[in-house]
């Protein structure tokens, strides 16, 4: 058996094929490229039971990942994050079977580690020495740290308003870091020019084909954790949409392998912010592509992407699964984040909170029914965004006393 069954790259727009053994970016037609595997051979060679006893991280699916030589794997144990039952918040929303896939405990604190682990490992295999990327923060943090582990140098450009901790993560990794007075789209233009001038490997969202492969492991894990049963709905906070495209691709591949029901797909929900909702707008109009969202703004920084290169792939996944796209206000995000901490003890990132609020809204309007099995992706840890919580706490003098949380007077009487 081969370590990987990768066969080639292909263009989802014009079907042109490309070799997977050399550095590739976009198709000549401008579309992102996707990775194809020799699924016929893999179907014969690979059984679900082969996973038994394998390492409990995303590399357990190495046959369906693009790295050919195990020695090129750059890993910090990422993946196989918990799928947690959310009974209290589920009761509150009247969803009986609500689960959270919690990406907050993965190395670097967000699911971006998955794309970085696979993307960097493949870059190492292809002999890349220097990469460049624009980022909303979390991806830059993951990629620069995994690059450091691989001995690859990185140039990162992020908006000045990106979460401060992600700036620090890039800096501490030794990345060549710049801040831009603008959005990720502005950072992207600056990186694009540097790539042209200096020949760096461009790992912008979907400009290299392997980040999706890392993120698709969320889909593989969800169904393995459900013992190869398909949930009814998966909600995903969507910026560039890589995770959603990845989950859809993972499920299609598992169908081709015969590992899951060939008919059933979960309804995929793209969740965005009211301050940046290009995919939602396109979906509402039944369009195949989105339009640039002017002056976008939201506290859910990771989903502040005014125009995604893979928008047509996100929309296709939503249409093909009878899913939908919804936008959430920042106010609702903060409310939901607080409620999740208080009812479930989980401090989720604002993007994750947006996806939970979307589940609440879709249950309220009947799009989700009470007994459906619903999975919400919490894409990162709340502690990466300390400024989303405002705290007003009493400071004590040394001789002052405190009161218990619960009033004891009733007991005393």
By the criterion CB under 6 A, which residues form the site for ligand PLP? Answer: 110, 112, 136, 138-139, 205, 237-243, 302-303, 349, 351, 379-380
Can residue 27 be called a binding residue for Zn ion (CB under 5 A)? yes
Residue with smaller CB distance to Zn ion, 12 or 192: 12
State the binding partner of 382 from Zn ion, ligand PLP, none, CB within 5 to 8 A by kind: none
**Near Zn ion by CB under 5 A, which window of 6-14, 193-201, 295-303, 380-388?**
6-14
CB-nearest residue to ligand PLP: 302
CB atoms closer than 10 angstroms to residue 83: 16
CB of residue 156 to ligand PLP, shortest distance in Å: 13
CB of residue 24 to ligand PLP, shortest distance in Å: 20
CB of residue 270 to ligand PLP, shortest distance in Å: 8
**Near Zn ion by CB under 5 A, which window of 24-32, 34-42, 381-389, 398-406?**
24-32
Contact pick of 31, 81, 138, 304 for Zn ion (by CB under 5 A): 31
Contact pattern from residue 274 through residue 303 relative to Zn ion, giving x for each residue in contact according to CB under 5 A and a dash for the rest:
------------------------------
CB of residue 115 to ligand PLP, shortest distance in Å: 8
Can residue 349 be called a binding residue for Zn ion (CB under 5 A)? no
Can residue 8 be called a binding residue for Zn ion (CB under 5 A)? no
Can residue 172 be called a binding residue for Zn ion (CB under 5 A)? no
Residue with smaller CB distance to Zn ion, 4 or 31: 31
Can residue 383 be called a binding residue for Zn ion (CB under 5 A)? no
| 150, 118 contact by CB (below 8 A) | no
State the binding partner of 360 from Zn ion, ligand PLP, none, CB within 5 to 8 A by kind: none
State the binding partner of 27 from ligand PLP, Zn ion, none, CB within 5 to 8 A by kind: Zn ion
Contact pick of 6, 7, 10, 11 for Zn ion (by CB under 5 A): 11
Contact pick of 17, 19, 23, 29 for Zn ion (by CB under 5 A): 29
Q: How many Cα atoms within 13 Å fall on the side-chain side of residue 91?
A: 4
For binding to Zn ion (CB under 5 A), which residues are involved? 11, 13-14, 16, 27, 29, 31
């Amino acid at each position: 058996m081969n370590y990987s069954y990768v066969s080639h790259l292909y263009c989802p727009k014009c079907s042109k094929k490309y070799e997977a053994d050399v550095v590739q970016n976009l198709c000549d037609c401008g579309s992102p490229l996707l990775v194809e595997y020799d699924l016929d051979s893999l179907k014969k060679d690979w059984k679900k039971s082969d996973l038994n006893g394998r390492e409990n991280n995303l590399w357990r699916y190495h046959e369906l990942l693009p790295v050919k030589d195990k020695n090129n794997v750059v890993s910090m144990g990422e993946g196989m994050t918990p799928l947690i039952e959310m009974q209290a918040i589920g009761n509150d929303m009247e969803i009986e079977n609500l689960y959270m896939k919690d990406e907050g405990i993965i190395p670097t604190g967000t699911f971006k580690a998955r794309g970085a682990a696979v993307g960097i490992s493949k870059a190492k295999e292809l002999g890349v020495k220097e990469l460049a990327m624009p980022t909303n923060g979390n991806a830059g943090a993951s990629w620069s740290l995994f690059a450091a582990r691989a001995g690859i140098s990185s140039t990162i450009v992020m908006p000045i308003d990106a979460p401060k901790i992600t700036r620090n993560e890039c800096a501490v990794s030794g990345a060549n870091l710049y801040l831009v007075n603008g959005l990720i789209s502005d950072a992207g233009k600056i990186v694009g020019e540097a790539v042209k001038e200096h020949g760096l490997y461009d790992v912008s969202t979907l400009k290299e084909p392997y980040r999706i492969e890392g993120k698709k492991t969320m889909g593989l894990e969800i169904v393995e954790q459900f013992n190869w049963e398909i949930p009814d709905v998966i909600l995903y906070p969507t910026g560039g949409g890589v995770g959603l495209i990845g989950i859809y691709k993972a499920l299609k591949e598992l169908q081709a392998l015969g590992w899951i029901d060939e008919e059933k797909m979960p309804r995929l929900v793209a969740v965005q912010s009211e301050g940046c909702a290009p995919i939602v707008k396109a979906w509402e109009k039944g369009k195949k592509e989105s339009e640039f969202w002017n002056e976008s703004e939201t506290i859910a920084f990771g989903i502040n992407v005014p125009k995604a290169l893979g928008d047509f792939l996100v929309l296709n996944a939503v249409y093909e699964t009878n899913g939908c796209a919804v936008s959430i206000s920042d106010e609702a995000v903060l409310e939901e984040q607080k409620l999740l901490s208080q009812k479930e003890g989980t401090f989720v990132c604002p993007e994750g909170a947006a996806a939970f609020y979307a589940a609440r809204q879709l249950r309220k309007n009947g799009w989700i029914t009470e007994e459906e099995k619903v999975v919400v992706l919490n894409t990162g840890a709340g502690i990466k965004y300390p400024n989303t919580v405002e705290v007003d706490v009493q400071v004590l003098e040394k001789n002052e006393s405190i009161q218990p949380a619960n009033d004891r007077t009733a007991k005393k009487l």
